[in-house]
């Protein structure tokens, strides 16, 4: 076997390999840090998602309660006949209240005339 002198080329190649390995190690460290940051962000988003789901469930329950309350009010106002839906808003209640106010005024007028007699 004949000995050959690799000289500066071999040294340069070794320096390049070390630089490449060092660069890969730094890149790996950067990616690991990014991974842990994304894991933390994912955990925070999962917690927020769970919180929002609970809020949505609470809002849905409130809506069911409101619908039930409006239905009960419509049943009372219509004396059991009910309303076909709640799209009339407060109008049935307003009409019933106005009718009660008119009855009240009439009864007060009759009472005043009875007292005067």
Q: What is the pTM of this model?
A: 0.54
Q: What is the pLDDT of residues 75-115, one digit of tens each?
A: 888 777 766 666 677 888 888 889 999 999 999 999 999 98
**Cβ-based burial of 96 (10 A; exposed 0-12, middle 13-18, buried ≥19):** middle
Q: In this predicted model, what pLDDT tens digit does every residue of 32-68 receive, in sequence order?
A: 999 999 999 999 999 999 999 999 999 999 999 998 8
């Amino acid at each position: 076997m004949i000995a050959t002198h690799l000289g500066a080329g071999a040294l340069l190649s070794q320096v390049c390999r070390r630089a490449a390995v060092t660069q890969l190690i730094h890149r790996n460290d950067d990616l690991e840090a990014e991974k842990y940051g994304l894991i933390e962000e994912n955990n925070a988003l999962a917690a927020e998602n769970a919180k929002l789901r609970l809020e949505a469930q609470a809002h849905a329950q409130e809506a069911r309660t409101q619908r039930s309350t409006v239905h009960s009010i419509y049943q009372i106002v219509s004396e059991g006949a009910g309303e076909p839906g709640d799209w009339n808003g407060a109008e049935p209640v307003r009409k019933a209240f106005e009718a009660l106010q008119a009855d009240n005024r009439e009864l007060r007028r009759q009472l005043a005339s009875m007292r005067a007699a």
